[in-house]
Amino acid sequence: MIDRKTSPLVDFHCHLDLYPDHAAAVSQRDREGVFTLAVTTTPKAFPRNKELADRTKHVRAALGLHPQLVAERSHELPLWKEYLPSSRYVGEVGLDAGRRFYRSFDDQKAVFAEVLTSCADAGNKVLSVHSVRCAKVVLDMIEAKLSPGAGRVVLHWFTGTPSEARRAAEMGCYFSVNLAMLKTDKARKLVLSLPRDRILTETDGPFTDGATNPLRPSDLTPTRDGLAAALALDPDEASDLISANLRALLN
C-alpha cells in the first residue's frame, strides 16, 4: 500500500494577533503545519506579526490597513508604505460600503488606490482584499491599478454576485472561502460558480463563528470538509486542490 502524504491545510486569512495569546497561536499553527496568512489590521501591528512569522515555516505575515479602520487610521498610510518592501503579503486591505463604514468610503477609496499603486510599483505582491457591499468598485479599482502581471489578488469572504465573481476570475483573482460562505444555499451557489483552480480556504478567525479554539488545526477541517462536500470531492482531494492552488498563486 502506498503511504499517501496528505496536503497541508490552508488558512489564507486569519487574524492570529487578535487571539488572546498571539505567540502561542502562531507556534501552534506552525507546529500543526497549517499554512496561515496572518493578516493585520494596521501597519503598527505588522512588525510583531512579522517577527513571529519569520521564526516559522508555515506562517506568513501580511501588511494591512483595514478599510473599517481607515476613518481613524488613514494617517498610518506612510507607515504602511515604509514597511511594504519588507513584505510580499499585503492585507487586510480593501473597501467596506456597509452602513457602519460608509461615511469613510471616500477616504477608504483614496487609501486603497494608494495601496494598489504602491503594490503595482513594487511588483510581486499577494493581496488579501476585503470587498463588503462594494465588489464592483473594488474590481474596478483593481482593474485600473493592479494588472495581473503586477500583483496577485485573493478576494477574502467574497459576497458579490456570481457575475461579479466571474469578472474577478477573468481578471485573475483568487477567492478564499470560509465556513460562513458554505452555510446558506445562496452562498454555496456562489462558491460553486467559482473556478476550482482559484479557490483557497480561510477562517477569518476570530471573526467567524465556529472557531471556538483557534489553536487547533481542526478549525480548518470543517471549512475544508464543507468545501469538499460542496464540490463533491473527498476531503483529501479538496486538500490537494487547495494546496495546488496555493502553489500556483505563490509561483
Nearer to Mn ion, 130 or 241 (CB): 130
Site stretch for Mn ion (CB under 5 A), options 80-88, 161-169, 189-197, 199-207: 199-207
**Is residue 204 part of the contact set for Mn ion (CB under 5 A)?**
yes
Return the residues of window 98-137 that contact Mn ion according to CB under 5 A. none
Nearer to Mn ion, 112 or 241 (CB): 112
Minimum distance from CB of 130 to Mn ion (Å)? 7
| Residue appearing with cell numbers 477541517 | 221
Tell me the residue number closest to Mn ion, measured at CB: 204
| Residue appearing with cell numbers 477567492 | 175
**Is residue 96 part of the contact set for Mn ion (CB under 5 A)?**
no
Nearer to Mn ion, 7 or 131 (CB): 131
Classify residue 247 as exposed, middle or buried by CB count within 10 Å of its CB (0-12, 13-18, 19+): exposed
Provide, for the chain, the percentages of residues in helix, strand and coil under a 3-state DSSP scheme, each rounded to the nearest 5. 50, 15, 30
| Cα(59)–Cα(48) distance, integer angstroms | 13
Nearer to Mn ion, 17 or 92 (CB): 92
**Is residue 219 part of the contact set for Mn ion (CB under 5 A)?**
no
Minimum distance from CB of 234 to Mn ion (Å)? 29
Nearer to Mn ion, 30 or 204 (CB): 204
| Cα(220)–Cα(208) distance, integer angstroms | 12
| Cα(239)–Cα(224) distance, integer angstroms | 7
Return the residues of window 169-188 that contact Mn ion according to CB under 5 A. none
Number of residues located near Mn ion, criterion CB under 5 A: 2
Minimum distance from CB of 39 to Mn ion (Å)? 6
Count of CB atoms within 10 A of residue 171's CB?
A: 15
Coil, helix or strand at residue 125: strand
CA separation (Å) from 214 to 19, 22, 66, 152, 211?
8, 10, 21, 27, 6
Which DSSP helix (H) or strand (E) runs through 92? Answer: strand 89-96
Minimum distance from CB of 202 to Mn ion (Å)? 8
Minimum distance from CB of 121 to Mn ion (Å)? 25
Catalog residues that contact Mn ion under the rule CB under 5 A: 92, 204
